[in-house]
Amino acid sequence: MKTEPILYAVVPHDLGGHRLRVTLSIAEPDPQGQTLALPAWIPGSYLIRDFARQVETIVASSGGQPVELRKTGNHSWQCAPCKGPLTIEYVVYAWDLSVRSAHVDGTHAFFNGTSVFLAVEGQEDRPCHVLLQAPEGCEHWTVHTSLPEASSHPQAAPRHGFGMYRAPDYDALIDHPVEMGTPQVISFEAHGTPHEMVFTGVVPNLDLERIAEDTRRICEAQIEFFEPQSRRAPFLDSSDRYVFMTMVTGDGYGGLEHRASTALLCSRSDLPARGRQQAGEGYENFLGLVSHEYFHTWNVKRIKPAAFAPYDLSKENHTELLWVFEGFTSYYDDLFLLRAGLIDEAAYFRRLARTLTMVHRGAGRHKQSVAESSFDAWSRYYKQDENSPNALVSYYTKGSLVAAGLDLAIREATGDQRSLDDVMRLMWQRYGRDFYQGGQNGVAESDMPGLILEATGYDAADFLRRYAYGREDVPLKDLLQRHGIVLEWKTPKEPFDLGMRLRSVNGQCTIATVYEGGAAHEAGLSAADTIIAVDGLRVLDDKSLLALLSRWQAGDTVTVHVFRRDELRSFPLKLAAARDTECELRRESAGAAGATSHG
């Protein structure tokens, strides 16, 4: 018997009001009453997002007659029993300018399926059809998504056009975000597989050709890494193309991976302009983001922790392994810029040193392991506050240092015959390559030591106990030294270590973070204090504060005047000499061996 697909129709029907209208048609609803649900979170962003809160109106009908529909939970609805096909009509408010949700205005419409597509409980394995419709007056818009067109359907969408698209099941449906509008677009092939880059937002004189060529080199290097023989892109199990969707703003940064695409957010100033050779560090950061999200196509979209195989989108899915899936990815993102020839060794060292500086700045690394940080992502990492640097460690940044240290340790133990690369390839072959063809097994919480041993012959149990599950600093200085790379800690240019991070809020100098044990902490200053004067002299911003303090020397005590809420307070701040807190990496000598194998 033929299985009727679940049918969705989506139209941005109120651009000024930022709304999407969705119609869901269920040919064979549960005769006992159909349950519907919207995901509570989106894979890759480990926080309960409550997307259902943006459903403004929702009604049900069957055969033209209303069907009772009631809310049964934060993310679920229950329909009364009906005899025929069931139709659900609802409106979603879409005004979240991020990679996680949905955003609609007069220039474009972007959405993730987790924000828009209600799941038909009990029928999640059924095929899904999606009719994408142009908003009124915007028939010239184009559509960009890795969701395949429903080629055999009478309303099949043309490439980049409105019409019918398809997914084999609900899990696939919500893993292909959609961008509609008039973006700047360029295409390229990586090992014969089509890739598209889509840029939404105002970006004058954008050098699309340069971005496409640099991205192609990243993609080909990563495909060759995982599939050196076949050079087959992993997403061909889900789509015939990969799509990079980038929303360009004045100061944005972020990314979210999907099985055949990624949603990115970047700053306009980070993108290269035609005719300019020097793109700057911002462009390196953008390429690093591209590299990071593309690596996720293998590591977390297909190689998954067992806790994610499959996802339960109704609640938190805890795992201690995000240091592997995000930390290892953070290690390889910059490494592939080096391997693809987009940065030189000096630039790679600079980027790695910056991560070391960032991690060592916070006392949180002594209080939380990256395994604990992974498990607590839902309640702590994604809910950071002003004290987080003192209490938490990032499974991204310290996770990348664990990966770097593990890579160096494996290379040293095996005489450069094995590396972390071998671990990643084993994980790909065992857990990832056939994931969407029924081989849906994930990496168990205790699997990593055994996988590393099997792939390389290196017993990493003690290493992981100390640096991933323990709170010790990864001994990168010693490990790098053995590979001919010198790690040194330098004194920053600033004359003092104030023990606080500043930011400008409404044109005023405000303390963002007070670092535990630092000068500001000892003085009694707190995050959110607004600094207005030092020894009676007005402070305008962080630059004027540093200029004022330059008149004193380390060991002097000054009176800092602040507003704490609406109360004027003063604190004696003893100026501490700047410490060696800035990491620097360099090659010991031009002929040194070892680290060349990273290239």
Q: Please give the pLDDT value at position 593.
A: 41
In a domain, 589, yes or no: no
Q: 224 and 131: one domain?
A: no
Q: 74 and 205: one domain?
A: no
Q: 210 and 229: one domain?
A: yes
Please list the residues that pair with 156 across neighbouring strands: 164
Question: Taking the CA atoms of the chain, what radius of gyration do you get in angstroms?
Answer: 26
Q: 26 and 130: one domain?
A: yes
Residue 519, token pair as written in the block: 């000068």
Helix (H) or strand (E) holding 286: helix 281-295
Q: 279 and 327: one domain?
A: no
Does residue 534 sit in helix, strand or coil? strand
| Cα distance between residue 260 and residue 151, in whole Å | 18
Burial class (CB in 10 A: 0-12, 13-18, 19+), 82: buried
In a domain, 476, yes or no: yes
Last residue of a domain, one of 181, 197, 223: 181
Last residue of a domain, one of 181, 196, 216: 181
Q: Please give the pLDDT value at position 589.
A: 76
In a domain, 336, yes or no: yes
Residue 296, token pair as written in the block: 């996720």
Please list the residues that pair with 247 across neighbouring strands: 200, 265
Please list the residues that pair with 475 across neighbouring strands: none
Q: Is the peptide bond before 310 cis (omega within 30 degrees of 0)?
A: yes
Q: 316 and 432: one domain?
A: yes
In a domain, 595, yes or no: no
Our CA angle for 122, 126, 130, nearest 5°, is 115
* Phi, psi angles (nearest 5°) of residue 367: -110, -15
* CATH code of residue 525: 2.30.42.10
Burial class (CB in 10 A: 0-12, 13-18, 19+), 16: exposed
Strands 567-574 and 128-132: unpaired
In a domain, 550, yes or no: yes
* CATH code of residue 81: 2.60.40.3650
Q: 319 and 266: one domain?
A: no
Q: Which amino acid is at 332?
A: Y
| Cα distance between residue 435 and residue 235, in whole Å | 11
Q: Please give the pLDDT value at position 594.
A: 40
CB atoms within 10 A of CB 503: 12
DSSP 60-94: EEETTEEE-EEE-SSSEEEEPP-SS-EEEEEEEE-
* CATH code of residue 223: 1.10.390.10
Kindly state the DSSP code that residue 42 receives in the 8-state scheme.
B
Q: Which amino acid is at 178?
A: V
Sheet strand arrangement including 76-79: 69-71, 76-79, 35-37, 119-120
Give the contacts of 9 (CB within 8 A, at least 6 positions apart). 22, 23, 25, 130, 131, 133
| Cα distance between residue 396 and residue 138, in whole Å | 41
* Phi, psi angles (nearest 5°) of residue 82: -145, 160
Strands 6-14 and 261-267: unpaired
Q: Specify the pTM.
A: 0.95
Strands 261-267 and 567-574: unpaired
In a domain, 210, yes or no: yes
Q: Please give the pLDDT value at position 596.
A: 40
Residue 66, token pair as written in the block: 């209303």
Count of H helices and E strands in the chain?
A: 16, 28
| Cα distance between residue 368 and residue 470, in whole Å | 8
Q: 285 and 302: one domain?
A: no
Q: 176 and 197: one domain?
A: no
| Cα distance between residue 550 and residue 466, in whole Å | 42
Q: 341 and 427: one domain?
A: yes
* Phi, psi angles (nearest 5°) of residue 568: -80, 125
Q: 558 and 449: one domain?
A: no
Give the contacts of 208 (CB within 8 A, at least 6 positions apart). 184, 186, 197, 199
Helix (H) or strand (E) holding 180: strand 178-181
Our CA angle for 239, 245, 251, nearest 5°, is 160
Match 């991976």 to its residue by tokens: 257
Q: 168 and 28: one domain?
A: yes
Tell me the per-residue pLDDT of 11-34, one tens digit each, with 9 for 90 and over. 999 999 999 999 999 999 999 999
Q: Which long-range contacts (CB under 8 A, 24 or more apart) does 251-255 make?
A: 252/97, 253/285, 253/289, 254/98, 254/99, 254/289, 255/99, 255/289, 255/292, 255/293
Residues of the chain with pLDDT under 70: 1-2, 590-599
Tell me the per-residue pLDDT of 501-539, one tens digit each, with 9 for 90 and over. 999 888 899 999 999 999 999 999 999 999 999 999 999
Which domain covers residue 72, as residue numbers? 6-181
Domain count within the chain: 4
Give the contacts of 590 (CB within 8 A, at least 6 positions apart). none
In a domain, 126, yes or no: yes
Give the contacts of 65 (CB within 8 A, at least 6 positions apart). none
In a domain, 118, yes or no: yes
